[in-house]
Amino acid sequence: MSTDQQDDQGEEDTLVNVADGVDHQVAMVMDLNKCIGCQTCTIACKNLWTEDGGSEYMYWNNVETKPGEGYPRGWEDSGGGWESSEHSDRSPGEIPDDEDYGRAWEFNHEEIMYEGSDEPLRPRDGAEWGPNWDEDQGAGEYPNSYYFYLPRICNHCTHPSCVEACPRSALYKRQEDGIVLVDQDRCRGYRYCVEGCPYKKVYYNTVSKKSEKCIFCYPRIEGEGPDGETFAPACAEECPPQLRLVGFLDDEEGPIHKLVNEYEVALPLHPEFRTQPNVYYIPPFAPGQHTEDGETVDIDRIPRQYLRELFGDGVDEALDTIDAHRQRVRQGGDSELMELLQDKNPAKQYRLEVFDDD
Amino acid sequence: MTDHRRTLTLTAVLSALIVVSTVAAPMVSARPAHEIPVSEVSTADLAEPNADGWEAVPASDVPLSSAPSSVPNADDTSIETVDVQAARTDQRLYVRLEWQDATRDMNASATREFADAVAVQFPVNTSSRPPIAMGGPDNRVNVWYWSGSTGTQELLAGGAGSTTPFENPTVQANASHSGTGSNATWTVVYSRQLDAPSENRTDLRTDGDLDVAFAVWNGSNGERSGQKAVSEWHYYPFSGGPQGPPYETLLWTLAGIAIVAVVGVTSFGIYRTQGAE
């Protein structure tokens, strides 16, 4: 699927398709070629938002190895999303089991620390799955095995099926910036949002009995911190290789708009769910395959078909475009695209001024 | 002369029997299908599901079916009937609900876990009957809700999706699950003072009939929200007097008068014929 932005609502002056009734749309571009799987984003998010009782198992931001089962296990086959691009009929989904998320394991700290046991520190029984259980496993045979990391947050979709799934309208898309939120006063813990999200990025808090999700760190982008300063979401700011761009999708001066709509090199994950995500990915490159003798040959290490399954058919063109610009720069030419992808200026990476509306 | 007297006596007895039966019939056998009797009691030993006081209170079998709802699997419900008893002192209304449910689902502490629940719905304004599915914007409902995981809640709703809990419930509920296997049952007793404790709460001291409806959720079947087994509107006959809607009494009275008249005319005819001999 190429960026097929021209469906309905005749927006004036912009090609960018934001949801009806939404003024602007927050967006993120993640360059998968920069992700080192360090989980700093995961921990930054967890420390901020999901440390309380009932949210231990939640990772609003997670980084999973692809190919792999992901978090929660098997989420790509758990249903949800829309039946067609009319966005009238939702596809039913399933609530992941506790085991699919991975329960917090119990360890034998007590025995080792206080009872003098000399057995190794290890989880007690039942540690048979967890987030990143299959980390770095990937697929393929030596010497052509492959994997890459996929950081995931809520996509703050233009057509969020979680919002539509809630019979109480407890989930909503914020008018000012399209952030999808759960109204904790309206939520009654029915979990239709959990099953209705095809990315499984809404979570049920087992203590508060209400659903929760990534809030795009809205207090940070609103400048609600102690010093009144505006910050990008914690997952973006804390990322050691700084692989995330943050801004409005409809900010035509910003890098996100250029990467998504002009160069069409940043792609949504699983566009076939038809929720129109607003997190976009620069697809991963990998070295060519190796022969038994260690010679590099011109065969994709990551099967192109696998990337199409993740990012849609637009991935071919996206990879070709990036490749062409790379060649151009290698031969001494200029490329705005290469500059955008390599920019180290935080002020350009995080277009925080767009969030400042007063 | 003896014949004459015998005929008169027969006529009188027959007429009396007919009158008695017309008056008595609606009170004994023909309780209207949607009426749930309410026992008037002076003292209440009714707060607990197994309180002795409930033994003397008649029960109604209320059939349940899947609620019409847009939520997924709305027609997959598992509870088919609920036994309802009601009793009223001069201070409180007690409602006891009993239904079969093999599993005692008390928790919603795992991602796929849902608790058993039960609800009683009344119109906020008892003079008109709201839409059955959570009332309507101009015709709200007051709901007494109990679930294994949340305990008792008192809700206000003005249409599907608008359900909102009152901050301080004035309804008490006590629940008990007893028995084993498929015969296991939940019993929940609700009670509330008759006077409306605040605005938007049903006044139970009404003199008219009080509309009431019931809903049951089986947690282990994933039932929650609109996926629930519900009754139609029923009513508590608080209007007193002969039970049943007024037109029914009127019809029975008319029928009684007609029968008495026919018997009278016939007897008079026979008497006249015999007298003429």
Specify the pairing of strand A244-248 against strand A210-213.
unpaired
Q: Which of B107, B111, B112 to mutate to test the interface with A (most CBs of A within 10 A)?
A: B111
User: Hey, CA dihedral for B14, B19, B20, B24, is it positive or negative?
Assistant: positive
What average pLDDT does the structure give for chain A?
93
Across the interface, do A92 and B72 touch by the CB < 8 Å criterion?
yes
Contact B79, B216 (CB under 8 A): yes
- Give residue A10's pLDDT band: very low, low, confident or very high (50, 70, 90): very low
Q: What is the mean pLDDT of residues A165-186?
A: 97
* B226 touches A at CB < 8 Å: yes
Domain match, B94 and B11 both: no
Residue B232 forms part of a structural domain: yes
The residue in chain A having the minimum alpha-carbon distance to the alpha carbon of residue B69 is: A167
Q: Chain A partners of B70 at a C-beta cutoff of 8 Å?
A: 167
Extract the runs of DSSP E, i.e. beta strands, from chain A.
Answer: 26-31, 62-66, 148-152, 171-173, 180-182, 202-205, 210-213, 244-248, 267-268, 279-282
Instruction: Please list every residue in chain B whose beta carbon sits closer than 8 Å to the beta carbon of residue A98.
Output: 110-112
B112 part of contact set with chain A, CB < 8 Å: yes
- List the single residue in A97, A101, A167 with the smallest CB-CB distance to B226: A167
The answer to whether residue B245 is domain-embedded is: no
What does each of the 277 residues of chain B score in pLDDT, given as a tens digit? Answer: 456 667 667 666 666 666 665 555 545 446 788 999 999 998 778 999 999 999 999 999 999 999 999 999 999 999 999 999 999 999 999 999 999 999 999 999 999 999 999 999 999 999 999 999 999 999 999 999 999 999 999 999 999 999 999 999 999 999 999 999 989 999 999 999 999 999 999 999 988 899 999 999 999 999 999 999 999 999 999 876 444 455 666 788 888 888 889 988 888 888 888 765 5
Q: What is the pLDDT of residues A51-102, one digit of tens each?
A: 999 999 999 999 999 999 999 999 999 999 999 999 999 998 999 999 999 9
- Contact (CB<8Å) B111/A189: no
Alpha helical stretches, state H, chain B = 2-28, 246-276
The contacts of residue A55 (CB under 8 Å, 6+ apart) are: A49, A203, A205, A207, A212
**Is pLDDT larger for residue B150 or for residue A3?**
B150
Q: In this structure, what CATH number is given to the domain that contains residue B90?
A: 2.60.40.1190
- The answer to whether the CB atoms of A96 and B72 lie below 8 A apart is no
Shared-domain flag, residues B47 and B65: yes
Distance CA A129, CA A103 (A): 8
% of chain A exceeding 70 in pLDDT: 95
Region A7-11: mean pLDDT is: 42
What pLDDT is stored for residue A125 in this prediction? 83
A3 inside domain: no
Q: Does residue B175 lie within any of the structural domains? A: yes
Q: What is the reported pLDDT for A11?
A: 41
- Same domain flag for B151 and B41: yes
Provide the domain count of chain A.
1
Yes or no, beta carbons of A167 and B70 under 8 Å apart: yes
Per-residue model confidence (pLDDT) at position B248: 67
> Nearest CA of chain B to the CA of A165: how many Å?
8
pLDDT for A285 equals 96
- Domain for residue A15, yes or no? no
Q: How many residues does chain A have?
A: 358
pLDDT on residue B12 = 67
Does a structural domain hold residue A88?
Answer: yes
Domain-embedded: residue A164: yes
Of A97, A168, A204, the CB nearest to B161: A168
Task: Please give the residue range of the domain that contains residue B155.
Answer: 32-236
Q: Which of residues 30-49 of B touch A (CB under 8 A)?
A: none
Residue found under tokens 């400048």: A223
B22 and B47 in a single domain? The answer is no
* Shortest CA distance from A170: residue in chain B: B161
A101, A169, A209 ranked by CB distance to B149: nearest: A209
To which residue do tokens 């995981």 refer? Answer: B149
Name the residue among A98, A168, A207 with its Cβ closest to that of B111. Answer: A98
In whole angstroms, what is the distance from residue B221 CA to residue A197 CA?
Answer: 21
| Confidence band, pLDDT 50/70/90 cuts, at residue A40 | very high
**Does B147 lie in the same domain as B229?**
yes
- Residue A96 distance to chain B (closest CA, Å): 7
User: B15 and B103: one domain?
Assistant: no
Task: Specify whether B206 is located in the same domain as B267.
Answer: no
- Classify residue A254: in a domain, yes or no: yes
Which tokens hold the place of A178?
């399209």
| Confidence (pLDDT) at B23 | 56
Query: In the structure encoding, which two tokens stand for residue A226, read together?
Result: 């102690």
**CATH code of A243's domain:** 3.30.70.20
Together in a domain, B79 and B176: yes
Residue B242 within a domain: no
Report how far apart, in Å, the C-alpha atoms of B166 and of each of B36, B94, B156, B169, B174 are: 27, 20, 7, 6, 19
Tell whether the model's pLDDT for residue A131 goes beyond 80.
Answer: yes
Crossing angle of helices A304-311 and A314-330, in 10° steps, is 120
Same domain, B50 and B179: yes
**Number of cross-chain residue pairs from A and B with Cβ atoms under 8 Å apart:** 46
Decide if B220 touches A, using CB distance below 8 A. no
Domain count, chain B: 2
Query: Which of B112, B113, B227 should be substituted to probe chain A, the one whose Cβ sees the most A Cβ atoms within 10 Å?
Result: B112
Q: pTM surpassing 0.80?
A: yes
Interface touch A167/B111, C-beta < 8 Å: no
Whether residue A21 is contained in a domain is answered as: no
Q: Is the dihedral of CA B138, B142, B148, B149 positive or negative?
A: positive
CA distances from A137 to A3, A75, A132 (A): 32, 18, 10
Residue A9 forms part of a structural domain: no
Q: What is the pLDDT of residue A5?
A: 44
Are B173 and B202 contained in the same domain? yes
Residue B184 inside a domain? The answer is yes
Check whether residue B113 and residue B229 sit in a common domain: yes
The pLDDT of residue A8: 43
Q: Which residues contact A28 (CB under 8 A, 6 or more apart)?
A: A153, A233, A236, A244, A245, A246, A256, A278, A279, A280
Is residue A201 one of the residues assigned to a domain? yes
Interface pTM, i.e. ipTM: 0.90
Residue A265: give the domain boundaries: 26-355
- pLDDT for position B4: 64
Question: Are B112 and B179 in the same domain?
Answer: yes
